[in-house]
Chain A
Amino acid sequence: MDARAPRRIVVGEADFDAPALQEALRAACAARAGAVAAFTGYVRDFAPGEPTSTLYLEHYPGMCERELAEIGDTALGRWDAAGYVIAHRYGALDLGERIVFVAVAAAHRGDAFRACEYIMDALKTRAPFWKRETLQDGRSFWVEARQSDFDRARQWEPDPPPSTENDNG
């Protein structure tokens, strides 16, 4: 990984300007960025048929930033990517608001797509955020982690270890 590669982590309560973050990444990577792949995640209904009213995201300050940077740096080391930006919000969010944004710049689209997808998949199972959903009728609950997210993250492991320990604490 190029030590001068543009790497940026934004963890905050306020909304972030995704297009500006993407453009800043592209500009910082200058001529090396033949491609920029970006992903934006928004608040949606989590329980089908039960309209979400608001979402609250709790986070672990410090570990969030560290974990996200480690995920991004792993992506830069694994693919031929020139730089990344990862933004994630916490606090109270309304339906349709941005939660997360990832952009990766690379010389070619394949590396940009794969690194961006890897970062999102790793983030879902590693970045210490927890969603609490409140429905329109006032009921409230912590969102359960989904097996499909773990399965997706596991697909990126270069050499899946035998499941001698299921690591559930």
Chain B
Amino acid sequence: MTENRLDKMRGELRRGVLVLAVLSSLKQPHYGYSLRKQLQDAGIDIDEGTLYPLVRRLAEQGLLDSEWQQAEGRERRYYQLSTLGGELLQQLTEEWQQLNGALGNLLEQL
């Protein structure tokens, strides 16, 4: 398998999981850069070009609340999970755990 194909498939695999990671991280309020740092510290490295537009889309869908705040002499937009986002996160978490368990069994058989 070529490196290029592996990168593409890895990207596809991560894409769906990123939503779960972002929603989960935003149980606490974060601005863009701090959210990226938090994800990086947790071992999930996302480039800016993917993360920031994703956060914005989730906010547009009503899954996140946002608020501009002044801090350290600069304005920052803080994002946090909305009520709707919280409900969705719970459902997605269950789905993920079920999928992860089933996949774990399958991968163990190999």
Q: State whether these chains interact.
A: no
B residues contacting A by CB (< 8 A) are none
A residues contacting B by CB (< 8 A) are none
